[in-house]
Amino acid sequence: MSGGVRRGSVVLLSGGMDSATCLALAAQESPPVHALTVGYGQRHLRELAAARALARHYRVDRHTVLELPLAPLLDSALTRPARSLPRGRPGRRGIPSTYVPARNTILLAVAVGYAESHRLGSVYLGINAVDYSGYPDCRPEFLRAFERVARLGTKAGVEGRAVRLRAPLLRRSKGSIVRLGERLGVPWGLTWSCYAGGRSPCGSCDACRLRAEGFRAAKVRDPTVRPPTPRRAPAA
């Protein structure tokens, strides 16, 4: 599939609120849309089901769920279920134990190769450098460096048709992302953010706390969180 004008996009779709918003944007800005979801051995496999539901909702042209058994190689609280997840306000304790070594580098390399092979012009990814957990591969510097790698290390880049990296949420707060998603009609009820891997969100891991802060700032109810059951008054 080499050569020709490149149009369309591939979205790195994790199943979370950020990648879902990127998928909604790509559907408007850069069709046809493909979605790429990677199962790397994360403890929160529930997000793969969310990614499948989102891909069906947006009727993407192709959704690939790629299994990369990286968990034995990459030491992280997300790949070692026996390790405890950090609790409390994220982003203020240095790089947390949920950092997965080189994850975004690996995922972007696969996505750029996919885009080049399918003659797609862009890769959309939901990295965020404002309300984030301190991961080094969610920073603008990382994105700029990888864009240079994509230009220098691919046939498309050498020929002047480099795959573009689109990170539309890079400088948005979580509240701003929720407001954008509301305008785009993102089905929040299909998304999944919790790191704990249970059947319902734990409410206390970094991902749950960031998500809750975003919905609270946007004054939008999160449909994945059940409202508290009102207490009944004691019988007289």
**Whole-prediction pTM:** 0.91
Residue 22 CA to residue 198 CA, distance in Å, equals: 25
pLDDT along the chain (236 residues), means of 10: 70 97 98 97 93 98 97 94 76 79 97 97 94 83 96 96 96 96 98 89 91 96 78 57
For the structural domain made of 9-218, what CATH number should be given? 3.40.50.620
> To the nearest 5 percent, what fractions of the chain are helix, strand and coil?
35, 10, 50
Residue 88 CA to residue 93 CA, distance in Å, equals: 10
**Cβ atoms within 10 Å, residue 53:** 17
- pLDDT at site 232: 60
- pLDDT at site 1: 43
| Residue 2, Cβ density class (10 Å: 0-12 exposed, 13-18 middle, ≥19 buried) | exposed
Per-domain boundaries in the chain: 9-218
- pLDDT at site 225: 87
Q: What is the DSSP letter of 87?
A: B
Tens digit of pLDDT for each residue in 159-196? 999 999 999 999 999 999 999 999 999 999 999 999 98
